[in-house]
C-alpha cells in the first residue's frame, strides 16, 4: 500500500482518519462542521458563537455538550508558524468578546487531539491536594500542573 502525502508532508490517510474520529466523537468538532455546512449553503448568514463558561456539572467528569451549547467557526490557517490563537465570539450585544485561555472549552478547541471528546480542559478553582500529604502555600491547581 502506497501512502499519499499532502503539501506539508502530512500522511493524508492519517489526517482523514483523525478528522473522521474527531467528527464522530467530539461535539465541538461536530458543531464546527455544522456551522461550516450552514455557511457553505448560505454564505450571508450571521453566525453567533456561544460557549458556556460556567458549568453546572462536575468538571472532572466528562459531560457531553449538546449541539446547541457550543458552536464555532474556525477562520484562517493554523500552522506551526501561527500557533497562538484567540477564540473570539460575538456576544449577545453583537460586540466581539475574546475568550481567555482560562475558559473551560479553550483547551479542547486549541488541542483537539489531547481532548478528543471535547471535554473541558483546565478549570479554575480545582483544589490542590499533595499526594505525599504535605501542605502547600497554594490552595488551587495551576494551569501548568
Question: What's the whole-number average pLDDT of the chain?
Answer: 68
Contacts 24+ apart (CB under 8 A), 3-10: 8/79
Q: Is residue 70 predicted with pLDDT exceeding 60?
A: no
Domain range list for the chain: 12-110
Q: What is the pTM of this model?
A: 0.49
What cell was used for 15? Answer: 489526517
Beta bridge partners of 88: 98
Q: Is residue 78 predicted with pLDDT exceeding 50?
A: no
Q: What is the pLDDT of residues 6-44, one digit of tens each?
A: 667 788 888 889 989 998 888 878 777 777 787 788 777
CB-CB contact of 139 with 128 (8 Å): yes
How big is the CA angle at 60 (ends 56 and 63), to the nearest 5 degrees? 55
Amino acid at each position: 500500500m502506497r501512502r499519499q502525502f499532502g503539501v506539508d508532508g502530512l500522511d493524508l490517510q492519517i489526517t482523514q482518519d483523525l478528522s473522521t474520529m474527531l467528527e464522530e466523537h467530539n461535539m465541538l468538532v461536530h458543531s464546527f462542521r455544522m456551522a461550516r455546512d450552514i455557511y457553505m449553503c448560505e454564505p450571508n448568514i450571521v453566525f453567533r458563537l456561544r460557549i458556556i463558561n460556567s458549568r453546572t456539572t462536575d468538571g472532572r467528569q466528562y459531560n457531553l455538550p449538546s449541539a446547541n451549547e457550543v458552536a464555532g467557526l474556525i477562520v484562517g490557517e493554523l500552522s506551526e508558524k501561527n500557533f497562538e490563537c484567540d477564540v473570539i465570539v460575538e456576544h449577545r450585544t453583537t460586540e466581539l468578546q475574546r475568550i481567555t485561555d482560562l475558559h473551560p472549552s479553550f483547551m479542547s478547541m486549541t488541542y483537539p487531539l489531547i481532548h478528543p471528546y471535547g471535554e473541558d480542559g483546565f478549570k479554575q478553582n480545582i483544589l490542590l491536594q499533595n499526594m505525599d500529604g504535605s501542605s502547600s502555600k497554594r490552595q488551587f491547581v495551576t494551569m501548568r500542573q
